[in-house]
């Protein structure tokens, strides 16, 4: 169990971390900082918030575990601001969905501040259509994958404690290097998003009534095209190189499918349909 858990700039994920930690007894004391004063006032009234801090520096002073929960583009500045104020025993983590840059910067910054605190990134694969800490859910992480991404080789006990924390919240934890994390999510999360968005743009250029004739196939295949654009711009910026590589692989695949269809190569097309089916069947 964590003694003091500090959560900075909670949105849906940060609020859910607080609620899950309280519901599952994963932290003794929960301290939260939010940028806007009116949010701090509202947070102070939540049963899963023991104390509200007026500054990030004050929030982290006694914390064993600090969870940074702002949008990915704001993580670096927050790390730099709190780094000199961390306890020697503190582990600093985040919940951003891209990891290489954040983990490199976090590790370097904490090493330079020489407090003894350690940075280890996290990425809980959870979320939904709703945003904001008000929509937090103590069961958000239950049964979901959470990546823990140590850069270099951090202290083994701290890594174990962070893994235990996410497990206590109900996650299935996978430990991988930050670079490999970014390659994996480029394929399993970011590529599907780009494909769904592009399919949506093709259909959106056709008469509107066409789409309304569609069955569930089109609806399922494009559901995530409805995701928030601002969040995805952040992800595209942070994981550009890996997404470009995954997109190239997808373009190759589509190109080969189209060439086989143009050449009436039914044997090749059947093999592609069957490989796709075998893979998808294995997912259920």
Q: Is 137 in the site for a second copy (CB under 8 A)?
A: no
Instruction: Describe the strand order of the beta sheet including 145-149 as a list of residue ranges.
Output: 121-124, 145-149, 172-175
- What is the Cα–Cα distance from 61 to 68, expressed in whole angstroms? 14
DSSP secondary structure letters along 137-159: -TTTTTT-EEEEE-SS---HHHH
Contact flag: residue 130 with a second copy (CB under 8 A): no
Sign of CA dihedral 214, 219, 222, 228: positive
- The alpha carbon of residue 100 and the mean position of all alpha carbons in its chain are separated, in whole angstroms, by 13
CB of 70 to a second copy, least distance (A): 19
Residue 142 touching a second copy (CB under 8 A): no
Task: Pick out residues in 171-230 that bind a second copy (CB under 8 A).
Answer: 174, 184, 187-189, 191-206, 208, 210-215, 217-230
- Which of 62, 265 has the CB closer to a second copy? 265
Is residue 250 within the footprint of a second copy (CB under 8 A)?
yes
Q: Is residue 258 at the binding interface for a second copy, with CB under 8 A as the rule?
A: yes
The owner of tokens 């023991």 is 50
Are 131 and 228 within 8 A, CB to CB?
yes
Residue with smaller CB distance to a second copy, 42 or 199: 199
Residue 200 corresponds to which tokens in the numbers above? 């949506």
Q: Residues 6 or more apart from 49 whose CB is under 8 A from it?
A: 18, 30, 31, 32, 43
Choose between 5 and 243: whose C-beta lies nearer to a second copy: 243
Answer for which of 41, 71, 157, 240 binds a second copy (CB under 8 A) is 240
Least separation, in Å, of the C-beta of 80 and a second copy?
Answer: 24
The distance of closest approach from Cβ of residue 43 to a second copy in the complex, given in angstroms and rounded to an integer, is 27
Size of the site for a second copy (CB under 8 A): 84
Of 31-90, binders to a second copy (CB under 8 A) are none
38 vs 205, beta carbon nearer a second copy: 205
DSSP string, 3-48: EEEEEES--HHHHHHHHHHHHTT-EEEEEEE-SSHHHHHHHHTSTT
Mapped onto helix, strand or coil, the DSSP state of residue 131 is coil
Could you tell me the maximum CA-CA distance found in the chain, to the nearest angstrom?
Answer: 68
Q: Which two tokens stand for residue 257?
A: 């499918």
Rounded least distance, CB 35 to a second copy, Å = 24
Among 58, 125, 159, 177, binds a second copy (CB under 8 A): 125
Of 44 and 226, the one with the shorter C-beta distance to a second copy is 226
Minimum distance, C-beta of residue 60 to a second copy, in the bound complex (Å): 30
Q: Shortest distance, CB of residue 63 to a second copy, whole angstroms?
A: 29
In whole angstroms, how close is the CB of 263 to a second copy at the nearest point?
10
* By the rule CB under 8 A, 247 interacts with a second copy: yes
Q: How far apart are CB 33 and a second copy at their closest, in Å? A: 28
- Whole-angstrom Cα distance, residue 152 to residue 120? 10
């Amino acid at each position: 169990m964590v003694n003091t858990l500090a959560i900075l700039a909670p949105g849906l994920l940060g609020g859910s971390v607080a609620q899950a930690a309280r519901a599952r007894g994963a932290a003794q004391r929960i301290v939260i900082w939010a940028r806007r004063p009116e949010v701090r006032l509202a947070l102070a009234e939540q049963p899963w918030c023991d104390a509200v801090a007026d500054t990030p520096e004050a929030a982290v002073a006694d914390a064993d575990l600090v969870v940074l929960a702002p949008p990915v583009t704001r993580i670096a500045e927050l790390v730099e601001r709190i780094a000199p104020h961390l306890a020697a025993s503190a582990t600093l983590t985040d919940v951003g969905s891209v990891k290489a840059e954040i983990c490199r910067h976090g590790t370097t910054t904490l090493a330079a501040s020489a407090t003894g605190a350690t940075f280890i990134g996290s990425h809980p694969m959870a979320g939904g259509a709703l945003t904001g800490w008000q929509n937090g859910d103590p069961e958000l992480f239950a049964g979901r994958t959470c990546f823990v991404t140590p850069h270099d080789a951090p202290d083994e006990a701290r890594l174990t404690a962070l893994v235990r924390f996410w497990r206590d919240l109900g996650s299935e934890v996978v430990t991988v290097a930050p670079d490999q994390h970014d390659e994996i999510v480029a394929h399993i999360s970011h590529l599907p998003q780009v494909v769904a968005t592009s399919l949506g743009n093709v259909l959106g250029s056709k008469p509107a009534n066409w789409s309304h004739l569609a069955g569930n196939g089109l609806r399922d295949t494009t559901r995530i095209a409805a995701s928030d654009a601002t969040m995805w711009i952040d992800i595209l910026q942070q994981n550009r190189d890996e997404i470009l590589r995954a997109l190239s692989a997808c373009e190759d695949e589509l190109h080969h499918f189209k060439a086989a269809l143009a050449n009436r190569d039914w044997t090749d097309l059947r093999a592609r349909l069957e490989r796709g089916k075998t893979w998808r069947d294995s997912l259920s």
